[in-house]
Chains A and B, each alone.
Chain A
Amino acid sequence: MAQAEFETPTLNEWVSTPAVQRDAMAHSRPFVAKPEHQASLGFPGELVENWQEVALDKMGELLGRYRSLQVFMDACVKCGACTDKCHYYLGTGDPKNMPVARQDLMRKVYRRYFTTAGKLFPKLVGAVELTEEVINDWYSYYHQCSECRRCSVYCPYGIDTAEITMAGREILATIGVGQKYSNEIIGKVHTIGNNLGLPEPALADTLEGLEEEIEEDINVPVKLPLDQAGADVLLVTPSADFFAEPHVDGLIGYAKVFHQAGISWTLSSYASEAANFGIFIGNYQNMQKVAQRIRQAALDLGVKRIVIGECGHAWRVAYSFWNTLIGPFDFLDPAYPVPQHICEFTYDLNSRGGLKLDREANDDKVVTFHDSCNVSRGSRIGDMPGGQFTIPRDLIRAACTHFVDMAPDTIHEHTFCCGGGGGLLTDDLIELRVKGALPRAQALQQVIEQYGVTHMAAICAICKSQFSKVLPHYGMGMDMIISVHQLVGDALVFGSEH
């Protein structure tokens, strides 16, 4: 389905909460998964005949399996604190993009079939039957949530709409209506090992090319080893790092850090993907299966540590869920946390004097930092709560002279999603992606005007892809967005040349 033309919102001095515009985004729907994308994930190929029964059974099962879903269905009092917090509501004005209204798409069905009040007095409590219209709304609006958890920060009961979106998507996939983008990608990971479907020879070739490029550039033989059994560290990074701009400069940055630290490391062609779209579709088993490849690769290669490259949701899955899904990691060196974030790794090296950084290399830049949602609100970096905010910034400050933060209500736990997270980074949702980026673009615009910011660093592959695509819609350069490890890599000083 081709997207109609749309208008990019204009940037004002601050984000104002739009008035309710009913059905403003009702037309936004991603492509539906084809039968083969569904089948490889264990879902039916097309809408099953008794879909209503299957959907309600699934909802009942999830209510009994996820305390989050059960409590969140009951606890909401409609206080409205979340209504102006979602970047998709702020960018579109569609009331169903208010977190509580998005939850209510499921809650009203829950009430009808699973609560006494909804069975007896459906109109009174806003309960409705599970009709085709409701399913259509689910498909549309559960794919207008990037599962960024911003709403959960402000909810007096901690209701996290991401949990409900995940359940909604899981129910949809179970009746045969999965999303093409996410499901096709998960299928590729199951069969080939990464989101791009990049096979081993192509990966080896790419890495070799990068090695040559680095050597030409800085005259140092920095290696990007692949499948090197016995290496100390297995680096698992989003596959976008292998070829996409600006991601690849981040990968070069990691390689330079390993090189200077003299730590042996390797990538794996079997587990050549840190991203785990299993979280996006809310399916425990697919998420586990995707993660399992990494455990297997670590065992096969006999590494001592696992380090994760710059990727937001991958880090949430790795940090928060791996031990549950694929632990315990008793075969790895207990001296290091499992897994370790690349920023944690570099930060430790640098604070122990293991790296030589020259800030002057980045003196042409004024840098700000975009906190990625899954890192900020779904995980941690370092030993202390909040390390996910301080460690990347400390790294940037170690590599750059000029650093400024964006407005306080748009960073740290209050950060705005880039607009492309949660399985929405697909061209069939470009209108949503552009509009959802409004709050971040607004905050960025402000520091550009005030401080002359030239670059925004991030530690998430999706953020990087999304911003390079949507920032031009707001009149900003696509190359404004860079990797934190690009800054680090460029500032590293090798040998005696300094």
Chain B
Amino acid sequence: MLLGAIFAGLFYFATVVFLVGVGARIARYARIPAPLVIPTTPAPTTHAGVCARMFREVVFFESLFKGSKWSWLFGWLFHFGMLIVIAQHLRYFTQPVWSWVMLIQWIGSYASFAMFVGLGGLWARRVLVDRIRYISAPSDHLMLALLLAITGSGLLMKHVAHTDIVLLKAFALGLITLSWQPLPNDLVLLAHLSLVIILMLIFPFSKLLHAPGVFFSPTRNMRDNPREHRHVASWAKDLPKSADSADGA
């Protein structure tokens, strides 16, 4: 029971940090203007076109595909494996389990293996390609280690050291209904959950901000219409008209 209470507390804390942290970051991105029209051209001229470009970017990793086929392959395997695995985890939080969540359960182990292979490939590139090794900080390696450990511990529970998922589901449902339930006292599970909590905690302070960031990237979300549409940032309106009177800059 104590274990359940501790983890429930940690999950609430991590959720608050995650939501507030990422929310604050998004608010900042939204508040700062893009003072000049800088889409990477050729760029769409309409809002619908921008939505289509963003869709291709987020779903197919269009630019990465142009840039590096290996990074694209491993990156796409990892991200879409993760998407499916997260969706599958909804079975722990819904009662009765939503029917579409039931429907995707069968691809579960394929998806988690895809994550594993994707992460392994990305890490191999980081170590083996001299250019990528050069640009990697310790945190870049640790991030991959963390994600691999989460994926690995999940795979372990699925295929080797099964945990008591009835008890686990009661705990997960309890988190939502604010009635704390005991957690199976199982090392692999506790490691898995602890690592997820760590991931949630560091999300707003790390390069994981690429997830909200991509939607705010001016080279991808601006329209190519500068001749037809006048675009002026709020701070630029207040500038003195000439550099002569600029405040030292």
Question: Which residue of chain B has the shortest Cβ distance to A162 in the bound complex?
Answer: B38
Tell me whether B138 and A154 are in contact (CB under 8 A).
no
**A64, B64: Cα distance in complex, Å:** 28
Question: Which residue of chain A has the shortest Cβ distance to B57 in the bound complex?
Answer: A156
Residues of B within 8 A of A405 (CB): none
Interface status of A350 (Cβ within 8 A of chain B): no
Q: Given A78-B140, A79-B68, A82-B67, A337 and B35 touching (CB < 8 A)?
A: no
Residue of A124, A126, A289 near B243 (CB, 8 A) is A289
Interface stretch of the complex, out of A131-139, A261-269, A315-323, A465-473: A315-323
Question: Which residue of chain A has the shortest Cβ distance to B132 in the bound complex?
Answer: A80
Question: Which residue of chain B has the shortest Cβ distance to A120 in the bound complex?
Answer: B205
Q: Given A42-B248, A155-B63, A377-B40, A95 and B243 touching (CB < 8 A)?
A: no
Residue of B28, B40, B71 near A70 (CB, 8 A) is B28
Residue of B68, B134, B242 near A81 (CB, 8 A) is B68
Q: B160: shortest Cβ distance to chain A, in Å? A: 31
**A282, B213: Cα distance in complex, Å:** 22
Tell me whether B236 and A324 are in contact (CB under 8 A).
yes
**A452, B72: Cα distance in complex, Å:** 37
Q: B12: shortest Cβ distance to chain A, in Å? A: 21
Residues of A within 8 A of B137 (CB): 78, 124-126
**A344, B29: Cα distance in complex, Å:** 36
Question: Which residue of chain B has the shortest Cβ distance to A127 in the bound complex?
Answer: B137
Q: B16: shortest Cβ distance to chain A, in Å? A: 16
Residue of B28, B38, B138 near A378 (CB, 8 A) is B38
Q: A382: shortest Cβ distance to chain B, in Å? A: 11
Question: Which residue of chain A has the shortest Cβ distance to B204 in the bound complex?
Answer: A116
Residues of A within 8 A of B236 (CB): 284, 324
Q: Given A124-B139, A386-B42, A324 and B249 touching (CB < 8 A)?
A: no
Interface status of A229 (Cβ within 8 A of chain B): no
Q: What 9 new A-B contacts, CB under 8 Å, besides A376-B41, A385-B42?
A: A58-B249, A66-B34, A78-B207, A79-B122, A83-B129, A124-B142, A157-B213, A324-B230, A385-B44
* Per-residue contact bits, chain A 59-79, to B (CB 8 Å; 1 contact, 0 not): 000011111101110111111
Residues of A within 8 A of B67 (CB): 81-82, 85, 153-156
Q: B107: shortest Cβ distance to chain A, in Å? A: 24
Q: A185: shortest Cβ distance to chain B, in Å? A: 14
Interface stretch of the complex, out of B90-98, B168-176, B184-192, B215-223: B215-223
* B-facing residues in A373-415 (Cβ within 8 Å): 376-380, 385-386, 388-389, 413
Question: Which residue of chain A has the shortest Cβ distance to B134 in the bound complex?
Answer: A95
**A77, B63: Cα distance in complex, Å:** 14
Tell me whether B129 and A377 are in contact (CB under 8 A).
no
Interface status of A123 (Cβ within 8 A of chain B): yes
Q: Which 7 A-B pairs have the closest CB atoms?
A: A154-B67, A81-B67, A126-B137, A75-B213, A158-B219, A385-B42, A80-B132
**A284, B142: Cα distance in complex, Å:** 39
Interface stretch of the complex, out of A29-37, A96-104, A208-216, A251-259: A96-104
Question: Which residue of chain A has the shortest Cβ distance to B45 in the bound complex?
Answer: A385
What would be 28 A-B contacts, judged by CB atoms less than 8 Å apart?
A: A20-B130, A20-B131, A42-B243, A42-B248, A43-B249, A66-B32, A75-B207, A75-B213, A75-B217, A77-B140, A78-B135, A80-B129, A81-B68, A81-B71, A83-B135, A125-B206, A152-B40, A160-B219, A190-B243, A288-B242, A319-B226, A320-B37, A323-B227, A323-B229, A338-B227, A376-B41, A380-B224, A388-B41
Tell me whether A320 and B135 are in contact (CB under 8 A).
no
* A-facing residues in B191-249 (Cβ within 8 Å): 202, 205-207, 209-210, 213-214, 216-220, 224, 226-227, 229-233, 235-236, 239-244, 246, 248-249
Residue of A66, A75, A323 near B210 (CB, 8 A) is A75
Q: Given A67-B32, A67-B34, A324 and B232 touching (CB < 8 A)?
A: yes
Residue of B64, B205, B218, B230 near A154 (CB, 8 A) is B64
Residues of A within 8 A of B132 (CB): 78-80, 83
Tell me whether B210 and A77 are in contact (CB under 8 A).
yes
Residues of B within 8 A of A385 (CB): 41-45, 224
Tell me whether A377 and B71 are in contact (CB under 8 A).
no
Residues of B within 8 A of A20 (CB): 130-131, 134
Tell me whether A324 and B36 are in contact (CB under 8 A).
yes
Question: Which residue of chain B has the shortest Cβ distance to A79 in the bound complex?
Answer: B71
User: Size of chain A's interface in residues, with CB distance under 8 A?
Assistant: 85
Number of A-B contacts (CB under 8 A): 245
Q: A420: shortest Cβ distance to chain B, in Å? A: 21
Tell me whether B66 and A285 are in contact (CB under 8 A).
no
Tell me whether B37 and A321 are in contact (CB under 8 A).
yes
**A19, B134: Cα distance in complex, Å:** 11
Tell me whether A100 and B135 are in contact (CB under 8 A).
yes
**A154, B65: Cα distance in complex, Å:** 8
**A275, B140: Cα distance in complex, Å:** 41
**A445, B217: Cα distance in complex, Å:** 37
Tell me whether B35 and A66 are in contact (CB under 8 A).
yes
Q: Given A20-B134, A284-B236, A321-B36, A158 and B217 touching (CB < 8 A)?
A: yes
**A289, B136: Cα distance in complex, Å:** 41
Residues of B within 8 A of A286 (CB): 243
Q: A383: shortest Cβ distance to chain B, in Å? A: 9
Question: Which residue of chain A has the shortest Cβ distance to B133 in the bound complex?
Answer: A20
* B-facing residues in A1-29 (Cβ within 8 Å): 17, 19-20
Interface status of A454 (Cβ within 8 A of chain B): no
Interface status of B75 (Cβ within 8 A of chain A): yes
Interface status of A206 (Cβ within 8 A of chain B): no
Tell me whether A79 and B134 are in contact (CB under 8 A).
no
Interface status of B113 (Cβ within 8 A of chain A): no
Interface status of A197 (Cβ within 8 A of chain B): no
Residues of A within 8 A of B38 (CB): 68, 160, 163, 320, 378
**A177, B3: Cα distance in complex, Å:** 59
**A285, B238: Cα distance in complex, Å:** 12
Residues of B within 8 A of A230 (CB): none
Tell me whether B213 and A285 are in contact (CB under 8 A).
no
Interface status of B23 (Cβ within 8 A of chain A): no
Residue of A158, A173, A338 near B214 (CB, 8 A) is A158
Residue of A74, A292, A321 near B241 (CB, 8 A) is A292
Q: Given A67-B33, A160-B219, A84 and B131 touching (CB < 8 A)?
A: yes
Interface status of A44 (Cβ within 8 A of chain B): yes
Tell me whether A174 and B243 are in contact (CB under 8 A).
no
Residues of A within 8 A of B142 (CB): 124
Q: Given A74-B213, A153-B63, A157-B214, A285 and B243 touching (CB < 8 A)?
A: yes
